[in-house]
Chain A
Amino acid sequence: MSVTSLASGHNHRLRTAKNNLATVLVTLSFVVALIPLVWMLWTVLSKGLHAITRNGWFTQSQRGITYRNPGGGAYHAILGTFLQVLLCSIISIPIALMVGIYLVEYGRGPLARATTFMVDILTGIPSIVAALFIYAVFVTTFHGQRAGWLVSLALVMLMIPVIVRTTEEMLKLVPNELREASYALGVPKWKTIVRIVVPTAMTGIITGIVLGVARVAGETAPLLILVGYTPDTNGNLFNGFQGSLPGMIYDQVGNLGNTHVLLHGRAVTIHYAADRMWGAALTLIIIVMALNLIARLIGRFSKVNR
């Protein structure tokens, strides 16, 4: 690919053909990516819609309902997911915010370099490894019981890097003039950060938080290791098994094979488990997509321009 071969213009037709081929391939690659997205969303929507539009989906649990029975809802799962993610957010947000502030406003020297490196590593840590770590600490070492709060702790490790990175980005965008003006008025540094810098970047930070919530709401691996699934409603994060949306999906997968029951001596085909699985999947997707949409809308109102 030398310059002379370009300039000589010998194979004009060949070059045009190559160019056209590249255009086709590049455009095609986008279409290829579109196929699974549309296919997946359509599958979940079409198979899950009648489950979640049924009466009681958002108000009942799966208590006492086996794969042989229709009915029941996802209330227990939605509640469990909500509580686990809530506790996770309460722990993650302050830490992540302070790490972001540290990296942008204070970070210098070896600790800052180590921190930014470790945030990268944390970004890439598999959720199952985070879960194993929490298990090794709280169950193997301190002989605790599996419970919802352990899931929250594992999710903290997955949520922090998302928020740190967004916070960092946003704080860097705050113009230096704002800080300088504040210092010139004799405002101490911490107050400048708390009252001037962070509020200016607030919308972006909130976007990061919402994206972080969306990221952890669908995590399944920590659930398998750190809490058992129960079809009952359990609002206690610190005691007993707890349902959750991903847990409910995983639980129903186990029943997918049971598609026949004997009813009055005749084999009848059922698909209650599949219905519930897709229903829970649709519920989860709606929540996650709504969070993403909210994050995007909040981003629109940002005071600092990206």
Chain B
Amino acid sequence: MADRESVTHRGSGDESGGEAARPPEGNPGRMADPLPPPSIGGESIDWAERGLDSALPIGSAEPSGIGTLEEEAPVFGAGSVSGGRGRGRIGDRVFSALASGSGLFIVVLILLVAIFLVARAIPAIADDQSNFLFSRDWSVEGATLRFGVLDLLWVTVVISLLAMLIAVPIAIGIALFITQYAPKRLARPVAYVVDLLAAIPSIIYGIWGITVLAPKLAPVQRALYHIPGALFQNKNVEQGTIFNGGLVLAIMILPIITAISRDVFDRTPRQNVEAAWALGSTRWEMIRLAVLPYGRPGVIAGSMLGLGRALGETIAITLILSKSGVGSPFTFSIFNGGETFASKIANNAAEFNNPTQTGAYIAAGLVLFVLTFAVNAAARGVVTRRKEFA
């Protein structure tokens, strides 16, 4: 296990340096390193600090998104300047009010989302003749409403977990490749290429997934039928299965997990790395001793952000998953179609007619909101706790 003391020290050093790693010469903490870095380890790290951080986030993967929280104290307090002239003071007051107002707007916006979704969902849930959380019914057309989200919950969770299972190891691999293995000249384009995956609109993942990828996956799926267990049962659905959807989701969440893992691996304290080298570690042993323990909270946070994205992904899943017929028996198999919260809502968007019927879908949306809220807040919690520890 890495030296706890030095982890702590470097953690607080990073805090003062801020999210944006400056070149080493700008940071007195790094200048003070008494020993020159060993060429083999120091090279890649030195580079990582200069090169990678200058790569901009592409598309919707924001590596720095969750990492920046409260990392730095605000630069100047509101009261730190006593404006000499009256005009300045009025301008200050107006501008300050505008700025805080915008902050307040964001807070109010999220509260409004919660309030409106709850307010629109409650009448529908009250009219619901089935148990909302634990029933599999979904009939909202007739006079009586009978709907429950159990099926949706199952498919949403299974498809997202499947995506995580595939994406997380690959993302860690790519992040290690970029930060620890790739030669300087290669690493930056590699990071850029992975970020490009985040730039592709999800509807294109959808049409590619169902028309191109799914037919190619059919033989793989047939081979997997041989694995015993309810999860792998043959349900005679060749294309548009949870398996297809999970795989496409995995590709979609790959960039965000990679970006955040890359960020934390990049900031592995140099002392720990050097200590590992000094013990005569191979590169892999160095990674296991120094890089992975230090980066674990970041990888977890990144994975949870990926999970949040997977839970809420709409259009790709809507296009890929084949709907199972109404009243079809429940199966555990991942080789079957189904609907997630998001795809259920999207599939029926054209039929939002009366308020109660729409309310059923808004209720489903509310559950999705609560799920993603919880996952994202937890991801944030992981990051914050690490900060406190450091």
Q: Which residue of A is nearest B186, CB measured? A: A30
CA distance A18 to B89 in the complex (A): 66
Q: A103-B103, A221-B314 are in contact. Are A34 and B193 (CB under 8 A)?
A: yes
User: Given the known A-B contacts A102-B103, A122-B110, are A189 and B196 also in contact in the complex, defined by CB atoms under 8 Å?
Assistant: no
B167 to chain A, nearest CB (A): 9
CB distance from B226 to the nearest CB of A (A): 23
Given the interface pairs A23-B181, A165-B62, A186-B84, the reply to whether A102 lies near B99 with Cβ below 8 Å is: yes
User: Chain B nearest CB: distance from A130 CB in Å?
Assistant: 8
Closest CB in chain B relative to A138 CB, distance in Å? 10
| Identity of the chain B residue whose Cβ is nearest the Cβ of A282 in the assembled complex | B204
Least CB distance from B222 to A in Å reads 21
- Of residues 125 through 141 on chain A, the ones whose CB sits less than 8 Å from some CB of chain B are 125-130, 132-133, 135-137, 139-141
Contact with B along A102-146 (1 / 0, CB 8 A): 111111100111111111111111111110110111011100000
B283 contact from A19, A126, A284, A299, Cβ within 8 A: A19
Known: A30-B177, A188-B88, A225-B352. A6 touches B285 (CB 8 A): yes
Residues 270-315 of B at the A interface (beta carbon under 8 Å): 279-285, 287-289, 305, 308-309, 311-315
The answer, yes or no, to whether B202 is at the interface (CB within 8 Å) is yes
Q: Are B177 and A29 in contact (CB under 8 A)?
A: yes
Give the CA-CA distance A37 to B197 in the complex, in Å.
6
A126 and B313: CB pair below 8 A?
A: yes
A126-B313, A127-B314, A284-B204 known; A19 and B199 CB under 8 Å? no
Contacts of A21 in B (CB 8 A): 284
63-96 of chain B: CB within 8 A of chain A? 64-66, 68-70, 72, 74-78, 80-81, 83-85, 87-89, 91-92, 94-96
Query: Does any Cβ of B come within 8 Å of A28's Cβ?
Result: yes
Interface of A is mostly: helix
Question: Does A85 make an interface contact (CB < 8 A)?
Answer: no
User: In the bound complex, how far is the Cα of B100 from the Cα of A10, in angstroms?
Assistant: 63
Contacts of B65 in A (CB 8 A): 120, 123, 161, 165
Which residues does chain B contribute within 8 Å of A232, judged by CB atoms?
A: none
Stretch at the interface among A51-59, A72-80, A210-218: A210-218
Of B30-38, B127-135, B366-374, the segment with at least 4 beta carbons within 8 Å of chain A is: B366-374
Complex alpha-carbon distance, A215 and B59, angstroms = 6
Instruction: Quote the shortest CB–CB distance from A167 to chain B (angstroms).
Output: 11
Contact assessment for A288 and B170 in the assembled complex, using a CB-CB cutoff below 8 Å: no
Q: Across the two chains, which residue of chain A brings its CB closest to B208? A: A40
Known contacts: A6-B281, A123-B62, A172-B19. The answer to whether A253 contacts B201 by CB under 8 A is no
Interface centre among A33, A95, A102, A132 (most CB of B within 10 A): A132
Instruction: Judge whether A253 and B372 touch: CB under 8 Å.
Output: no
Judge whether B207 is part of the interface by a CB distance below 8 angstroms. Answer: yes
Decide: B83 and A188 in contact? CB cutoff 8 A: yes
The distance from the CB of A173 to the nearest CB of chain B, in whole angstroms, is 5
Nearest CB in chain A to that of B319: its residue: A253
Write out, one digit per residue, whether chain A residues 17-55 have a CB within 8 A of any chain B CB (1) or not (0): 011011101111110111011011001100000000000
The CA of A214 and the CA of B60, in the complex, are separated in Å by 8
Of B107, B201, B313, B375, which one neighbours A218 at CB under 8 angstroms? B201
Chain B residues whose CB sits within 8 angstroms of the CB of A263 once the complex forms: none
A295 to B56, CA, bound (A): 8
Contact (Cβ within 8 A) B102 A28 = no
Contact of A99 (CB < 8 Å), options: B103, B194, B380: B103
Which B residues between 320 and 356 are near A, CB-CB below 8 angstroms? 342, 345-346, 349-350, 352, 355
B7 interface contact, C-beta 8 A: no
CB <8 Å contact, A1 and B199: no
| Residues of A contacting B194 in the complex (Cβ-Cβ under 8 angstroms) | 30, 33
A77 to B288, CA, bound (A): 51
In the bound complex, residues from chain B placing their C-beta under 8 Å from that of A36 are 197, 213, 251
CB distance from B204 to the nearest CB of A (A): 5
Q: Contact check: which of B113, B202, B289 meets A220 at CB < 8 Å?
A: B202
The chain A residue sitting closest to B276, CB to CB, is: A6
Which residues of B, 119-162, contact A by the 8 Å Cβ criterion?
Answer: 119-120
B201 touches A162 (CB 8 A): no
Contact of A292 among B81, B199, B288 (CB under 8 A): B199
Q: Are A133 and B116 in contact (CB under 8 A)?
A: yes
Residue of A nearest to B289 (CB): A1
Closest Cβ of chain A: how far from B141's Cβ, in Å?
18
Q: Is the CB of A183 within 8 A of B81?
A: yes
A120-B380, A124-B376 given; A189·B76 CB < 8 A: yes
Q: Is B254 interfacial (CB-CB < 8 Å)? A: yes
CB distance from A146 to the nearest CB of B (A): 9
For A150, what are the chain B residues with a Cβ–Cβ distance below 8 Å?
A: none
A29 touches B174 (CB 8 A): yes
Identify 15 residue pairs between A and B in the complex whose beta-carbon atoms are under 8 Å apart, listed by A's number: A99-B106, A106-B74, A106-B96, A115-B107, A121-B377, A124-B375, A126-B314, A126-B369, A129-B365, A133-B117, A157-B109, A172-B72, A189-B76, A288-B199, A292-B196
Known: A191-B91, A295-B56. 20 other contacts (CB 8 A): A7-B280, A27-B181, A33-B170, A98-B102, A106-B100, A108-B77, A121-B373, A123-B62, A126-B314, A128-B342, A162-B60, A164-B106, A173-B20, A188-B83, A189-B78, A190-B92, A221-B346, A225-B349, A289-B196, A296-B56
